[in-house]
Structure 1
């Protein structure tokens, strides 16, 4: 395998401006619109509760041939703080070449990205293409690492953006939950422009708009569906456009990239009795301020109590000190046997306990 090619960059607030549009010396920083930022800040916990469910679609060609499947699920999680987790996966084959995409993202309740892992691959005849991108918030920065493997050639890219220039960031993972929220509200406000990252890790604009309602056949029923369009801009190429349609309850009914012969669609209506499997979130007490405070208080209370007892019984320290000194001098192979024999000798020094049966005679 060839040696990896590497490109590393760290951007502060000032130098980032020149990189935001993919060219040095750019005069205007790309920003999310006020409407987009306002939408994120308006999200209520009750709305997120309604988003906790799974979608499952099939991927079909224009001729109706089954090519694969698409799944997306949202659940509550914990990543240093209570948050939302979305996991989506698309897999199948195009022209008999296996391909797939997997994304897992952890989000705050206002959809700020805490961490995301994005993986996509295509297994072509003769060689494969594999792309992995991982981003994580760390000390006020969004640290991003991308590894691209084409055949045997590996390219690594690393970059770090200040969170101040990523206000209103929408990623592949967070966009799925964002559109689910829009569908539940049955409204996409005007001028919904967010910032995102393209394949070259440049900051770009991503915009959303409401589509005209239409009827879609799901199973044996013809239903009214709500549409949301996402336009992903790019510095290095043409924009890509995705159109998604949703049922009244927020379930995804159709998903397609404009210009692609492949469509993802819902075959059957979700069960009305569908139950959400709420996984138990592990308790990380060290990161819970209230529980950590109680732990520290209790710890100090026990230390004070133990210290007080040792002061009242100085013979404990002398006893333990003598035992350790003898143990280190003898260095017995069986420490447990030695310890039992050592402390058994003190039993004979203790006065016999009164016999209750003898006292009753």
Structure 2
């Protein structure tokens, strides 16, 4: 998409160009609450709102007059230097009748993941029988400046106006494309930054304040189904044009159920309930209190114990079968122990097994019943003994 579109048709009767505009004497700025809200946006959250929706335009009597389609998806934009930027792409268009007058508009916008405008083109027209009216608005960010080009055509009369703003002076600016995404965020969070004052463009293409207000929750009927919606009102506080208000009735996942332009004879609403995304409930990790382990009552642990016990029994039996001398030595010791029944069993055992030691001379078990055993002495005294 070209950063500097060329508008065809008609002859410009008036062309004006301003740098930072006449409001530079009294600059209009977004407040801290608006900046804080925009800074809270995360790419992971915004990716929840990549879907399209279609609403039907109906008159006061309920007759269909047209339709409105809004689509938000991932996109990529190529600047004049051929550099690709991954971003959000917003496309919205409508066509219908108001009081039997053909009207319509279209919008294409590229947004960064923190809602800064990269480029946007919008067009709206009203086909009056006397004088057809058409307005084209182009926004493009270039060299840290926002260039706003507005072209209005009434019959054969064409007027073009261009305003350049530094990006630093329009922090908190919400374009039409960004507004459609932010409404989905507010519905998902069930929260409106009511004290925030953003920047926006009014119907004359002039910079002004934009605010949001929560009107609470309401129950509406969609395709014979009662659904709760979150109502948000946006107000454009124009200083030179006509202030405007628009009410948005939003489902919990950001789908637009109804849109009312205050003062308009028509509204937009859905007639088919979409698949509403539910919020993922993050359960807190379970807390387990300290509990004494009674392994005998645990079938799995008890089964493992029996298996291990049998494994050891077989291993021991196998070893004793391979070393029959071990059984003979133990039997002899028990035999002599029960015959002698000494008061000092440890000393008796040391004397009994001393013949098997390779470091001492063979002794009989009756050599000395009062000989001091090495097991009864400190380790440091073994050599002396």
Fold conserved (TM > 0.5)?
yes
SS in 2 for 1:183: helix
2:115 corresponds in structure 1 to: 111
Q: Does 1:9 align with 2:20?
A: no
- 1:232-263 Cα deviation digits (max 9, x unpaired): 11122341100001111211001001122211
Q: Does 1:121 align with 2:119?
A: no
- 1:284-322 Cα deviation digits (max 9, x unpaired): xxxxxxxxxxxxxxxxxxxxxxxxxxxxxxxxxxxxxxx
Alignment of 1:229-268 (within 5 A): 229-268=233-272
Query: Which structure 2 residue ranges, 5 or more long, are not aligned?
Result: 1-8, 78-83, 278-385
Following superposition, the deviation at residue 201 of structure 1 comes to 2.9
Q: Any conservation in 1 of the 2:151–2:158 contact (CA below 8 Å)?
A: yes
Normalised to the residue count of structure 1, the TM-score between the two structures is: 0.70
Q: Any conservation in 2 of the 1:227–1:244 contact (CA below 8 Å)?
A: yes
Q: Does 1:178 align with 2:182?
A: yes
Distance 1:248 1:265 in 2: 16
Distance 2:276 2:113 in 1: 26
Distance 1:272 1:247 in 2: 8
Q: Any conservation in 2 of the 1:192–1:209 contact (CA below 8 Å)?
A: no
Distance 1:44 1:206 in 2: 22
Task: State the 4+ residue runs in structure 1 displaced beyond 4 angstroms.
Answer: none
Following superposition, the deviation at residue 2 of structure 1 comes to 6.2
Alignment of 1:136-215 (within 5 A): 136-215=140-219
Residue correspondences, number: 263
- Cα distance change, pair 103–213 in 1 and its aligned pair in 2 (3 A): same
SS in 2 for 1:142: strand
- Single out whichever of 116-125 and 88-97 deviates more from structure 2: 88-97
Distance 1:127 1:247 in 2: 39
- Single out whichever of 237-246 and 131-140 deviates more from structure 2: 237-246
- Which structure has the larger Rg? 2
Distance 1:199 1:161 in 2: 18
- 1:64-120 Cα deviation digits (max 9, x unpaired): 111110110000011231100110112101122110011111000000000000100
Normalised to the residue count of structure 2, the TM-score between the two structures is: 0.66
- Single out whichever of 63-72 and 258-267 deviates more from structure 2: 258-267
- Cα distance change, pair 39–272 in 1 and its aligned pair in 2 (3 A): closer
Distance 2:114 2:242 in 1: 30
